[in-house]
Structure 1
Amino acid sequence: MVSKIILDDRVILLNSYEEEKVNGNYKVSVIFDVTSEDYHDIATLLYNGTFDVKIPEEDIMFRGTIYNYSTSITNLYEKDQVGQYKLTLVEEKG
């Protein structure tokens, strides 16, 4: 199983990974945990919306945009909280 994804230069450890091709472009869905300590950095990163995506274990690299995203918890400002993020990225048409 794929254990990490890199968005820009940020390594994110994964709980789940699914990959498919849609019209020849990658569509990657991941689930990962975000702690209250990492929340600000992850939220700021995801706010960009488009990233250099690397999946080293599959030797995949592409420019990807958020297609869908959700979180299991909305208040990660409270100490010692962990939220589960679901994120789907699609490769930009080249």
Structure 2
Amino acid sequence: MVTKVVLNGVAIQAEEFEEEVIRQNGVPLHKIRFAFKVRSNEYHDIATLLYEKTFDVSVPEKDLNFRGTIQNYSTSVTNLYKENEVADYRLELVETN
């Protein structure tokens, strides 16, 4: 199932979307994990976005909105400058309090 995740106004078509509420110092915080594809023509924009590290996060179909920071991140390819390459990205974000 594909879920739209919006980070700082940029829509990402997320796969394998998971959400949970965790507790840090007794405070409940949202945590989401998802995978998404990045094509070579999107690489620069996505890399620049992820360098921001903290985002206004929105998941419209879940009515979920919070300020979140990258807790974990991985990619199957680190250089997408070759035309028509596609990488699998995984991102985990935790609400900042």
TM-score, structure 2 normalization: 0.93
* Aligned-partner SS, 1:68: strand
Whichever residue aligns with residue 31 of structure 1, its letter is A
Q: Is the 8 A contact 1:2 1:58 kept in 2?
A: no
2:54–2:70 Cα contact (<8 Å) kept:
yes
* 2:15 aligned residue: 15
Paired residue secondary structure (2:47):
helix
Residue number among 50, 56, 60 corresponding to 2:54 in the alignment? 50
**In 2, Cα distance between equivalents of 1:2 and 1:66:** 20
Whichever structure has more strand as a proportion of its residues is 2
| Pair 1:62 & 2:66 matched | yes
Q: How many residues were matched structurally? A: 93
Distance 1:89 1:69 in 2: 9
Q: What is the SS of the residue equivalent to 2:80?
A: coil
TM-align CA RMSD:
0.9
For structure 1, the 5+ residue unaligned runs are none
Distance 2:14 2:49 in 1: 16
CA distance in 2, matches of 1:77, 1:27: 31
Identity %: 52
The whole-number CA distance in structure 2 between the counterparts of 1:57 and 1:31 is 17
Report the alpha carbon displacement of residue 58 of structure 1 after superposing the two structures with TM.
0.4
